[in-house]
Structure 1
Amino acid sequence: MSRFIERHPVWSLVVLLAVALLVWLIFAVWPAGLEEAIGRKKVFLNAVFNGITLGGLYFLVASGFTLIFGLMRNVNLAHGSLYLLGGYVGYGISTATGSWVLAFIAAFVVVAIVGVLLQVLVFRRMEGQDLRQTMVTIGLSIVFADLMLWAFGGDFYQVQTPAWLIGPVQLPLMTAMKSSGEAVFLQYPAVRLVIFGGSVVIGVAMWLALNRTRVGMIVRAGVDDRDILAATGVQIQLVFVLVFALGAGLAGIAGVVGGTFQSLSPGEDTRFLLASLVVVIVGGMGSIPGAALGAVIIGLAEQLGSVYIPTYAIVVTFLIMVLVLALRPQGLLARR
């Protein structure tokens, strides 16, 4: 960070001013008599929180993608299909049992097993063949999409939110003061806050596992030189199977999350595959903090864009990706 400030003092000042403006817009208390402005501020704050919580969902999808694509160098373009499959599995389990927690467990296990099959039957036979992996996984994604369309139809599904998470909660964030002297606080859906908190916990746990444990060291060493690592007696293929299963399982969990506060339908697999690609490109391949930063940036851009420039919201997302590729091709927090 200090090197960046030394090399780019002007850009550092611009970023600092932008962050300061955003913090002021969020925490400033509007005075009484500005009812119209207060309404606009509520819209803005809701868009900001929607963007941050959507970023949590994007992170869950992209974290699995960055494990498989960024760390293991496996080009899995069927990752979006794993997301949608996890969502459908979670919907079926929650409908049958009424348990939201069991839906997460079932989605993780089922999609992780599919990930193991993909690693053993597909990627192990095509190690280092990026073009072949790309073409095969594109074909698999089409097959998976047709199978899920056949099994679940073209309807929209939503995972039932548990009763204890239904309704809004009042955040300790005063947005304005009415002329009567009454304070106005922001209210936000409890389920989205809980899901975002869960994504933060998962992100921190993944970073610690990859950077502070022996298994994480083995994974990173295997990516750099798997032949030397295998010569030391480590069962590198077993480690890679487990990592692939973890990445796939995270996509399954993300499917249940997406089905809870959005919906599940054909086409969502392609949408979240593209979102994962953009997040990994913006944040940096193989970087868990990069995936988190990229997910929040893309989530905020999508939500703020849909509120203020709905016609060009998708353009803003890809414009960010183009700027990152032009100015820092390795990503904002690329893993060294």
Structure 2
Amino acid sequence: MTSLFLLQLLNGVQFGVLLFLIAAGLTLVFGIMDFVNLAHGVLYMVGAYLMAAFTMITGSFAAGLLLALAATLVFGLALEFLVFRRLYERSHLDQVLATFGLVMIVNEGVKILWGTAPLTVPMPTLLSGSIPLAGPLQYPVYRVAIIAAGLVTALGLWLVINHTRIGMLLRAGASHRSTVSALGVNVSRLFTLVFAVGAMLAGFAGAIISPILSVDTGMGESVLILAFVVIVIGGIGSIRGAFLGALLVGVVDTLGRSFGPILLRTIMDPAAASQTGRTLAPMVVYILMAAILFARPAGLFGRNTS
């Protein structure tokens, strides 16, 4: 049982790191730009598809990753220039409707380009082994690399936001956007930078998870819902909140799905416990969100505007 708990805990951390890469860009866009972007998940999906395409073309995982990041960045900037900047001054309802429509358009475009069959990305040889954890327990090196990449990204974002002039402007823009604009800062350029970073992070998440999960259309929708849960728990606009919220959601969701049926077997027969556990497991993160919002309505690190 201890070995299973350790294994699932690491899986939860890895899932949390993946959620952070998606939620970090989403919370910046929402917190600084006050823009509700339901199409953020398609950047995650497009990143995965581009990773599959470029890896197949180049035959190199590293080259495919670099090209996928660059292409996702360009794709995100194109969306910002052609679609999103026309919605910044519109109501949240208009933003929701427009970005939801964009989700369907991009999904259909992906089907036209790559078809409906799931794609796979080969595991890089250098990261294809396992490392011993405790006794006979082994953990894939690639999953450890995902955790490390997420932690390095989180550290880099923290340094940029808290110790650079750009970060100062981002923090100021999140709190007093009109004041920052009055001081001569090009808010439009700032918005473009924020969206570019968010797009690249989402694409990075899709690219690095593609050797583990099958790449298919619609893969961004389910993870987008959890990303919204993450930023609500952590506090809108807070990178620190997004990081801690993502780890909480990843660990709680993974452990809940693994140990929920096991715990229920102590009070129910195995068949009923298994069925009930599968039904209740997806609800655990939303119960967690409700509990945190009851105690802290603005999230763990959100700004209380009441």
- Regarding TM over 0.5, the answer is yes
Q: Tell me, in whole angstroms, the C-alpha distance in 2 between the residues paired with 1:223 and 1:294.
A: 19
Per the TM alignment, residue 139 of structure 1 is displaced from its structure 2 partner at its CA by 0.7
Aligned to 2:298: 330
Alignment equivalent of 1:264, drawn from 198, 215, 222: 215
SS of corresponding position for 2:138: strand
Task: Tell me the residue number matched to 1:191.
Answer: 142
Structure 1 CA distance for aligned equivalents of residues 32 and 65 of structure 2: 25
TM-score scaled to structure 2, two decimals? Answer: 0.88
Query: What is the CA-CA distance between 1:207 and the residue it aligns to?
Result: 1.2
**Offset at residue 95 of structure 1 (A):** 1.3
Structure 1, residues 191-243: CA drift from partner, whole Å, max 9, x if none? 01011111001011111111111011112223333343233332221121111
Deviates more, 1:96-105 or 1:116-125: 116-125
The equivalent of 1:56 in structure 2 is 17
Deviations 1:69-109 (A, max 9, x none): 12322111001111000100011111111222222222222
Q: 1:188 is paired with a residue of what secondary structure?
A: strand
Deviations 1:3-51 (A, max 9, x none): xxxxxxxxxxxxxxxxxxxxxxxxxxxxxxxxxxxxx222221111111
Q: Distance in 2 between matches of 1:222 and 1:306?
A: 39
Q: Which residue among 140, 153, 165 is the counterpart of 2:115?
A: 153
Task: Give yes or no for contact 2:25–2:198 (8 Å, CA) kept in 1.
Answer: yes
Give, as a single letter, the amino acid of the residue that structure 2 aligns with 1:333: F
SS in 1 for 2:137: strand
Alpha-carbon distance between aligned partners in 1 of 2:183 and 2:144, rounded to the nearest angstrom: 45
Alignment equivalent of 1:216, drawn from 167, 170, 191: 167
Counterpart of 1:180? none
The equivalent position to 2:235 in structure 1, one of 284, 287, 292, is 284
What do you get for the CA RMSD once the two structures are aligned?
1.7
1:117-175 residue CA offsets vs partner (Å, 9 max, x unmatched): 2322333222242221111001101111111122222222222211010121123xx4x
Work out whether residues 31 and 174 of structure 2, in 8 Å CA contact, stay in contact via their aligned partners in 1: no
Q: Distance in 2 between matches of 1:77 and 1:126?
A: 13
- Whether 2:93 is the aligned partner of 1:131: answer yes
- Using the TM superposition, give the Cα deviation of residue 317 of structure 1 relative to its aligned residue in structure 2, in angstroms: 1.7
How many residues are paired up? 286
Equivalent of 1:200 in 133, 144, 151? 151
Corresponding residue number in structure 1 for 2:74 = 113
Structure 1, unaligned stretches of length 5 or more?
A: 1-39, 175-183
Distance verdict in 2 for CA 1:226–1:71, change over 3 Å? closer
Partner Cα separation in structure 2 for residue 104 and residue 126 of structure 1: 31
Paired with 1:73 and 1:111, the residues of 2 have a C-alpha distance of: 22
Q: CA deviation at 1:185?
A: 5.4
Structure 1 residue 318 corresponds to structure 2 residue 286: yes
The residue number in structure 1 matching 2:271 is none
Task: State TM-score, norm by structure 1.
Answer: 0.80
Gapped runs of 5+ residues in structure 2? 261-276
Equivalent-residue separation in structure 1 for 2:56 and 2:118 (angstroms):
14
Which of residues 83, 90, 94 is equivalent to 2:44?
83
Give the Cα–Cα distance (whole angstroms) in 1 for the partners of residues 14 and 174 of structure 2.
32
CA distance, structure 1, for counterparts of residue 55 and residue 82 of structure 2: 30
CA distance in 1, matches of 2:193, 2:57: 29
**More divergent stretch after superposition (235-244 vs 82-91):** 235-244
Q: Who is 1:162 aligned against?
A: 124
- Match 1:274 to one of 225, 246, 266: 225
Corresponding position of 2:181: 230
Q: Distance in 2 between matches of 1:335 and 1:91?
A: 40
CA drift at 1:249: 0.8
Q: Does residue 96 of the first structure (1) align with residue 57 of the second (2)?
A: yes
**Do structure 1's residue 306 and structure 2's residue 257 form an aligned pair?**
yes
Identity of aligned residues (%): 37
Inter-partner Cα distance in structure 1 for 2:61 and 2:144 = 16
Q: Distance in 1 between matches of 2:293 and 2:95?
A: 23
SS in 2 for 1:234: coil
Of 116, 141, 147 in structure 1, the residue corresponding to residue 103 of structure 2 is 141
**1:243 and 2:194 equivalent?**
yes
